């Protein structure tokens, strides 16, 4: 029994949905199909989810979101026409969207979540109807009926443990189950969405709940590559990597698979197979618990920009009990989270996402560190990129750090900081954003 999730690019048009049907029909073990909202048909197109978000925002501002809702209905209508689906399906979608657009707005976030989740929900209805038209037993099932219950938290929606037992009952449903991704329901019955690209999370939750043999994630690339193809031409494809390696790479900018989506599959020990809807015969990439380290120390290199660092120096810092707690408490007061903390005996560096330092919060944070902690020196560096060199094999190879450092030096890239995780699965280099691509190319050519 398999769960197959299809992303927005795989469902952007009727032609794409026909490919999805052929893939699902080709393997009788693909009982569960998790779908995203229709994505872009071309580079100039707009995703359905983006149209829904803008319609909700316009309505909340007191403007008219109706034209955008009609654009969404037209998108579904064009897909239905390509697939020769009954007009009744589109009539139902229009009625659903109209009801959501004019629903209670007293809780703006709930209102927004309900409207943007409708992209996946209505697409699931449409796809189930197409499967039925092709003579396959299939049904749309809403997450509320299935028992997908989520935590009522602002900004970080998580599945509640009791959901898994409820989802297991879906195994007994007849035919193929078409399930909308991206959202669940609170105990009070409100719709809450996962973070963007959250359909990956739904697929992983469902795979865990129904105890699937495999979670297949179909997207628009043949594999996860060892490095960003926009930075290095024709990079090596990764055939197999561990959950931990994928988590590190996703954190640092690999957008093929949502990093939070690994958790439910990882906990259940379910392998994840990333495949291409447009080329299902390609080998793809498998994410597993363990693998043979036969490819050398490094499996992939990823990067992300938009970071800053706060360097704090104080003589005899290591003897001052509670210094670290006080420092992090200052960040907490401003709602700022840190990413890494490389440290020495008399100094510590906090790596942060730069976007958190809005307005005058940076000046206030620096001022409090100086005044309350009596720091000798506080220096802020902006516009940093973090480069992650990842691989389980690094634990068993000598000299990986030396090779990486030499490659960066030969490319005339200055290392602002370096940090190796305690798991020894990754090492992080901080460089100036302007040196990011040069650094990635140098590291790729060294290890691959």
Please state the three-class secondary structure of the chain as a single string. CEEEEECHHHHCCHHHHHHHHHHHHCCCCEEEEEECCCCCCCCCCCCHHHHHHHHHHHHHCCCCCHHHHHHHHHHHHHHHHHHCCCHHHHHHHHHHHHHHHCCCCCCHHHHHHHHHHHHHHHHHHHHHHHHHHCCCCEEECCHHHHCCEECCCCCCCCECCHHHHHHHHHHHCCCEEEEECCEEECCCCCEEECCCCCHHHHHHHHHHHCCCCEEEEEECCCCEECCCCCCCCCCCEECEEEHHHHHHHHHCCCCCCCHHHHHHHHHHCCCEEEEECCCCCCCCEEEECCCCCCCCCCCEEEEEEEEEEEEEECCCHHHCCCHHHHHHHHHHHCCCCEEECCECCCEEEEEEEHHHCCCCHHHHHHHHHHHHHCCCEEEEEEEEEEEEEECHHHHHCCCHHHHHHHHHHHCCCCCCEEEECCCCCEEEEEEEHHHHHHHHHHHHHHHC
CATH code of 2-288, in short, is: 3.40.1160.10
- What tokens does 217 get? 């994630």
Is 430 annotated in a binding site? The answer is no
Best CA proximity match to 118, nearest among 101, 137, 135: 101
Give the global pTM: 0.86
Judging by beta carbons within 10 Å of its beta carbon (0-12, 13-18, 19+), is residue 41 exposed, middle or buried? Answer: middle
5 annotated to a ligand binding site: yes
Is 219 assigned to a binding site? yes
Q: Which two tokens stand for residue 129?
A: 């109807």
The residues near 413 (Cβ < 8 Å, ≥ 6 apart) are 431, 435, 438, 439, 442
d(CA 315, CA 332): 24
CATH 3.40.1160.10 intervals, the chain: 2-288
On whether 225 is known to bind a ligand per the annotation, the reply is: yes
- Tell me, what's the pLDDT at 399? 87
Token representation of residue 298 = 């490094």
Residue 220 counted as an annotated binding residue: yes
Q: Is 6 annotated as a binding residue?
A: yes
The answer to whether 127 and 33 are in contact (CB under 8 A) is yes
Spatial separation of the C-alpha atoms in residues 319 and 133, rounded to whole Å: 73
Minimal CA–CA distance to 317: which of 342, 349, 347, 341?
A: 347
Domain with CATH 3.30.2130.10 in the chain: 300-447
The pLDDT of residue 155 is: 61
Contacts of 420 (CB under 8 A, 6+ apart): 401, 426, 427, 428
Is beta strand 272-276 parallel, antiparallel or unpaired with respect to 285-288?
A: antiparallel
- 154 has binding-site annotation: no
Q: List average pLDDT for each run of 10 residues in the chain, which is 448 residues long.
A: 96 97 97 97 94 96 95 96 94 96 95 96 97 97 96 81 96 97 94 86 96 95 90 92 87 72 90 95 92 82 93 95 96 92 92 88 94 95 93 85 95 90 82 96 95
**CATH number of this structure's domain 300-447:** 3.30.2130.10
Residue 253: CB atoms within 10 Å: 16
The residue among 282, 257, 251 whose CA lies nearest residue 271 is 257
Tell me, what's the pLDDT at 2? 97
Q: How far is CA 383 from CA 354, 360, 429, in A?
A: 8, 17, 14
Query: Does 47 belong to an annotated binding site?
Result: no
Q: What is the pLDDT of residue 55?
A: 97
Report residue 421 as tokens.
């995780």
CA distance 47 to 173: 31
With CA atoms as reference, report the closest residue to 343 among 367, 363, 323, 370. Answer: 323
Alpha-carbon span 216 to 237, nearest angstrom? 17
Query: Does 190 appear as a known binding residue?
Result: no
Give one word for 301, left, alpha or beta, with left for phi > 0 and alpha for psi -120 to 50: beta
């Amino acid at each position: 029994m398999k769960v197959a999730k299809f992303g927005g690019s795989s469902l952007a048009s009727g032609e794409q949905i026909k490919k999805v049907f052929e893939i699902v029909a080709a393997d009788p073990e693909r009982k569960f199909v998790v779908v995203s909202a229709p994505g872009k048909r071309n580079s100039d197109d707009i995703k359905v989810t983006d149209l829904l978000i803008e319609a909700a925002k316009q309505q909340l501002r007191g403007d008219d979101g109706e034209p955008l809702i009609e654009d969404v209905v037209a998108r579904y209508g064009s897909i239905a026409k390509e697939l020769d689906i009954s007009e009744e399906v589109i009539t139902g979608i229009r009625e659903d969207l109209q009801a959501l657009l004019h629903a209670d707005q007293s809780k703006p976030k709930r209102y927004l979540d309900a409207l943007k989740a409708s992209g996946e929900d209505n697409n699931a209805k449409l796809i189930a109807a197409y499967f039925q038209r092709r003579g396959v037993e299939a049904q749309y099932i809403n997450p509320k009926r299935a028992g997908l219950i989520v935590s009522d938290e602002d900004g970080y929606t998580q599945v509640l443990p009791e959901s898994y037992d409820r989802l297991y009952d879906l195994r007994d449903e007849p035919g193929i189950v078409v399930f909308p991704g991206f959202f669940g329901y609170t105990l009070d019955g409100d719709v809450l969405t996962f973070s963007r690209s959250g359909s990956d999370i739904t697929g992983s939750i469902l795979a865990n709940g129904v105890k699937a043999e495999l979670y297949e994630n179909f997207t628009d690339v043949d594999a996860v590559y060892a490095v960003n193809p926009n930075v290095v031409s024709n990079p090596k494809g990764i055939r197999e990597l561990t959950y931990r390696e994928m988590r590190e790479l996703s954190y640092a900018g690999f957008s093929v698979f949502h990093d939070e989506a690994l958790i439910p599959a990882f906990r259940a020990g379910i392998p994840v197979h990333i495949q291409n809807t447009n080329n299902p015969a390609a080998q793809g990439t498998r994410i597993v618990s363990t693998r043979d380290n036969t490819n050398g120390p490094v499996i992939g290199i990823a990067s992300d920009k938009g970071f800053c660092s706060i360097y704090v120096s104080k003589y005899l810092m290591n003897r001052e009990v509670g210094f670290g707690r006080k420092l992090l408490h200052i960040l907490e007061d401003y709602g700022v989270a840190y990413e890494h903390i490389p440290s020495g005996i008399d100094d510590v560096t906090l790596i942060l996402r730069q976007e958190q330092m809005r307005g005058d919060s940076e000046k206030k944070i620096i001022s409090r560190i100086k005044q309350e902690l009596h720091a000798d020196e506080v220096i802020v560096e902006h516009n940093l990129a973090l480069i992650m060199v990842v691989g389980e094999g690094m634990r068993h190879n000598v000299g990986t750090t030396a090779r990486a450092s030499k490659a960066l030096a030969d490319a005339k890239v200055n290392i602002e900081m370096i940090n190796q995780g305690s798991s020894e699965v990754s090492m992080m280099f901080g460089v100036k954003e302007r040196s990011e691509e040069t650094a990635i190319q140098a590291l790729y050519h060294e290890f691959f």
